[in-house]
Chains A and B, each alone.
Chain A
């Protein structure tokens, strides 16, 4: 069985975002780019399954310009066998999903993994759109994936509970925290061997985006925090009731 992990290249989650060009795009100055945290957990789980002998190969793919290759190299250093980059600057998740779907036609993977969202656009769109375009079943909110005796068992979150599912045939899973606990860190040996692993660049077909980001802004800063005397806890509830009117 082969696993494909769809990866997004995002600003480090501690980044204080700023915008430029009349607030139409992210100011990339000083930003450190990382593998989207949920994609990194997906990759970690895929590699755990490979270590256990349940998976033969783990490949990763990203749609983006050349500067995203640093995160693909990191994925190779962590342990992925092969990386792909579809060479395109994209405007929305639909464009990304279409490019992936077109590329996927000539590939054969048993399990596709996508993180629940990217920490930049937070749309939760690409994975499910890819599955819909490629015509393969999808399942979301997946927090567990195991393979025993060739049987693929998934754990997913539902409102107020959990469910165990069994997959029959290829599928795409949108995964969240729990799929792996801690992201795997590249070893020195991994970093050395990553240099010789294949990173294939694929030209992009022309695909039109369906949405566009027109402008960005920063939320209004909060007013100052009103301090309440710890000896007067009743005062807090009076304020929440009379001033804030939330209880």
Chain B
């Protein structure tokens, strides 16, 4: 009863960084419990991709290739994960704290009569009883949570554990979920912006705020993102003004992100904004106000007008890329 089951999410058949980070995390948990790290894969994924999970310490894969797993349906997905957890006698079930993971982890916890700890940021400090740290108050504080139940369900905050390669082969087993419910909602229309780097998957995020003074000044922001291979984001006033789409809003009431590198361009740094980005490994702030609170959260700062500094950063980034 000490196996670890994790949901290996994929996008159109390929695993992205959050899935591989979760595989690394599940492997580390399995080493603590003495059990196996077991992946559940829903939908069609090729053998070459499945074998990648083995390189991050996964020993066994349950591959439910057949079934209506797209679109994501809370009822279908949570049933599949709960059935898999029962099949492999998982003590712990872990998810990425992704759109999907956050949506179904609570339902899986109910099905398994397990305690739920959402958004953990590392390994448990104790396995018996399970004791683990997570962020609360939108990143303004940390809490140590103890789970009273034998089984537990956790979601892992992205970019907190990192990728840890490990040698090994995963054995893939084709598996059919015994009793899947039908779709709960009828899908009328799906639209995806193809090829766009997702905020949740980006290592570098270039974000800009009200200091840009209008949507027409966004070109250098986008240029900097393009040169660095980064995703673009914005602060709340920017999306409220309609300068940028709501999907780009990062902060307490928007998306909470944790990239390796976060550029805050012309963002003063309200408490709510910092709460959404404070888990970034490194923050660079550009602002003309030396008193702007963003400098208190930043690792590197440039005091100056974004309209001259950002274009200069674009050129400097190009020179850096050419020489590296």
Contact = CB atoms under 8 A, between A and B. Distances in A.
B145 A213 contact: yes
Interface in A196-246: 208-219, 222-223, 225-230, 233-234, 236-241, 244, 246
A161 interface: yes
A24 to B, nearest CB: 10
B299 A125 contact: no
B296 A240 contact: no
B186 interface: yes
Contacts of B117: 211
Contact of A233 (B189, B193, B260, B315): B315
A133 B304 CA distance: 54
Contacts of B107: 128-129, 131-132, 138
A209 B117 CA distance: 12
Interface in B110-128: 110-111, 114-119
B300 A225 contact: yes
Looking at B75, B187, B299, which has the most chain A CB atoms within 10 Å of its CB?
B299
Interface residues of A, number: 83
A240 B188 CA distance: 46
A154 interface: yes
A153 B187 CA distance: 10
A165 B185 contact: yes
A228 B71 contact: no
Interface of A: prevailing SS: mixed
A139 interface: yes
B252 A13 contact: yes
B184 interface: yes
Interface string B127-171: 000010001111111111111110000000000000000000000
Contacts of A122: 118-119, 135-138, 256
Contacts of B140: 16-17, 218-219
Interface in A1-25: 11, 13-17, 19
Contacts of B104: 128
B213 interface: no
B256 to A, nearest CB: 8
Given A139-B185, A216-B136, A222-B296, A209 B316 contact: no
Contacts of A228: 300-302
B106 A125 contact: yes
Contacts of A160: 11, 192-193, 196, 198
Nearest to A128: B106
Interface residues of B, number: 95
Interface of B: prevailing SS: mixed
Interface in B154-210: 184-193, 196, 198, 200, 203-204
B74 interface: yes
Interface in B208-237: 228
Nearest to A168: B186
A208 B149 CA distance: 11
Interface string B298-318: 111111100011001101110
Contact of B247 (A137, A157, A230): A157
Contacts of B186: 165-168
Interface in B24-81: 71-72, 74-75, 78
A56 interface: no
Nearest to A210: B115
A163 B189 contact: yes
A157 B141 contact: no
B192 A244 contact: no
8 contacts: A129-B109, A161-B192, A177-B249, A214-B146, A216-B143, A222-B296, A225-B296, A236-B302
